[in-house]
Amino acid sequence: MNETLSGRVALVTGAAQGIGEAIALVLAEQGADVIVNDRLENDQGLAVCTAIRAMGRRSTMLAADVGNEAEVKRMFCRIDEEFGHLDILVNNAGSTKAQTIEEASLDNWNELLSVNLTSCFLCSKEALARMKARHFGRIVNISSMAGQQGALLGHIHYSASKSGMLGFTKTLARTAGPMGITVNAVAPGLTDTELLRRTHSAAELEMLTARMPTGVLGQARHVGLAVAFLCGEAGSSITGSTLDMNGGIYMR
């Protein structure tokens, strides 16, 4: 087992399933202790913790709505008490709805931006305060190809939030660099998760996959490996960057 992150403490938001779960497991494989966050304590999140502990790592599930400032502050106080410090923050929590601007209400808009973007601001703010004291930290924001080229089939709020995350990443990287903290983003394309299959029909997925040079959906584990790369020694001089993982459907 490659333990390049041995001794590191990581928080992964939205880690009970999908991409977040995969990121949490890969970080643990590479040596990190991992805090698993989800909105509510649930069997899926607890199972991720169990899998991480089976690798010999420390892990706990901390339930919090990461779009709520008070809940985020409480979560970070628990991290201080139970782990003592934080080295890695992965802002992964997110959701979407297949709505166009005509279909989305203001409540829909505010809900998606809270989950996807406000959470990134609140968690990064708390993490930065702790990381700068140790002059070390890694923040990785899970954006999306939809934030770069726009969503093709509705998802107006999702696309806006993921685009905002990219600007947030670059700006925070400038602030955090002198503190020994790197800030980067990963922008997955079509990734085979429960959320993707819940929000896209089989016909839509077939059409979208056909546009990809690789012709296959991305895998959540590959996103986890990319995050681990950015958090490890090889990523030490990378900051303010976005790593595209979309099978070539969008090229810059």
Give pLDDT tens digits for 8-41: 999 999 999 999 999 999 999 999 999 999 999 9
Question: How far apart, in whole angstroms, are the C-alpha atoms of residue 147 and residue 151?
Answer: 7
CB 27 within 8 A of CB 140: no
- Interval 41-68 mean pLDDT: 98
**16 vs 120: CA distance, rounded Å:** 17
Q: How confident is the model at residue 68 (pLDDT cuts 50, 70, 90)?
A: very high
Task: Of 183, 91, 90, 93, give the one whose Cα is nearest residue 136.
Answer: 183
pLDDT at 1: 54
Average pLDDT, the chain: 94
CATH fold for domain 9-241: Rossmann fold (3.40.50)
- Between CA 71 and CA 74 the distance in angstroms is 5
pLDDT of residue 203: 87
| Band (185; pLDDT cuts 50, 70, 90) | very high
**For residue 197, is pLDDT > 90?**
no
Ramachandran area for residue 60 (φ above 0: left; ψ -120 to 50: alpha; else beta) = beta
Instruction: Collect all residues with Cβ–Cβ distance below 8 Å to 67 and sequence separation of at least 6.
Output: 114, 115, 118, 119, 122
Q: Which of 161, 162, 160, 157 is nearest to 145 (CA)?
A: 162
Is the pLDDT at 195 greater than 80? The verdict is no
Please give the structure tokens belonging to residue 86: 């934080």
Q: From residue 217, give the alpha-carbon distance in Å to each of 123, 163, 173.
A: 30, 21, 30
250 a catalytic residue: no
Considering the candidates 158, 164, 172, 227, report the single residue annotated as catalytic: 158
pLDDT of residue 205: 84
As a whole number, mean pLDDT of residues 80-92 equals 98
Q: How far apart are CA 124 and CA 141, in angstroms?
A: 9
